[in-house]
Amino acid sequence: MRVVFLGPPGAGKGTQARILRERFGLDLISTGDILRANCAERTPLGEKAERFMRCGELVPDDLMIAMIERELERKPAGFVMDGFPRTVAQAEALDALLSRLRWPLHAAILFNASRPVLIERLASRWINPRTGRTYNALTNPPRVAGIDDEDGGELVQRDDDRADTVAKRLDVYEAATKPLVEYYRKTGKLVSVDALAPVETVAERIAAAIGAAHA
Ligand code: ADP
Ligand code: AMP
């Protein structure tokens, strides 16, 4: 099963991608997580990407497409992509790569949520930077504030979840990424989900949609 997630920052893509990974044994390819790990390790890619990420801009397509090529070289049997593609050029490159591998996509899941909800979710998001696991101070708090329930690691707020950067990221989504909704609609693979519903409800709808797409 091969699925891409589309939707604005804060819509719940990372949360649902982790659920899909567990339930269906899919590889999780999260470009944001990979970039943050590269920044933390101060790799050449991290050094190049950091200034774009810090101000909420997109990392250039050539770097991102090369990253996805490397991820697909690992030959994941099935995957969920969270955070890629984010531009039409990235979507075209992904199509070309997958058609060369004869691995068609099964679905592109679009997460729908309104801007005020996204802003509130991002302002109250806490992450474990080592694993990418996400909590929310309002809707899904850890048992002990600032500590991951699973591994006891410290939770932090992302630098780019500050209000000014969030506004920029939402604008970048509208301008650069939203055109992908039409792109995938034309392929017949687009499935929209109401991302305002509770986490478990969203997970059930996604499982039903990809089950149908895979049948
Ligand atoms: P994205 O990966 O799309 O940026 P996340 O999965 O990190 O979004 O979710 C953003 C924030 O909203 C996190 O704090 C997460 O815990 C919370 N969240 C995710 N899904 C829901 C939901 N269905 N209802 C309420 N809060 C949610
Ligand atoms: P995310 O964790 O998906 O919110 O991504 C965090 C940041 O990483 C984004 O704001 C971008 O700067 C960068 N990024 C992640 N994925 C991509 C992508 N596919 N194209 C360009 N930039 C990306």
d(CA 133, CA 155): 9
Query: In ligand 1, which atom is closest to the CA atom of 125?
Result: 14
Provide, rounded to the nearest whole percent, the portion of the chain with pLDDT above 70: 98
Asked whether the predicted pLDDT for residue 75 surpasses 90, the reply is no
Q: Which ligand is nearest to the CA of 159?
A: 2
List, for residues 112-131, the tens digit of each pLDDT value.
Answer: 999 999 999 999 999 999 99
Neighbouring residues of 55: CB distance < 8 A, sequence distance ≥ 6: 165, 168
Asked whether the predicted pLDDT for residue 214 surpasses 70, the reply is no
Computed over every residue of the chain, the mean pLDDT equals 95
| Pocket-forming residues, ligand 2, beta carbon under 6 Å | 9, 31-32, 35, 52-53, 56-59, 64, 83-84, 86, 90, 160, 169
Q: What pLDDT does residue 215 have? A: 62
- pLDDT band, residue 76 (cuts 50/70/90): confident
Is the whole model's pTM more than 0.75, yes or no?
yes
Q: What pLDDT does residue 56 have? A: 97
Q: If you average pLDDT over residues 17-31, what whole number do you get?
A: 95
List, for residues 183-206, the tens digit of each pLDDT value.
Answer: 999 999 999 999 999 999 999 999
List, for residues 82-122, the tens digit of each pLDDT value.
Answer: 999 999 999 999 999 999 999 999 999 999 999 999 999 99
* Among protein residues, the one whose CA lies closest to atom 5 of ligand 2: 32
- The phi and psi torsions of 193 (rounded to 5 degrees) equal -125, 150
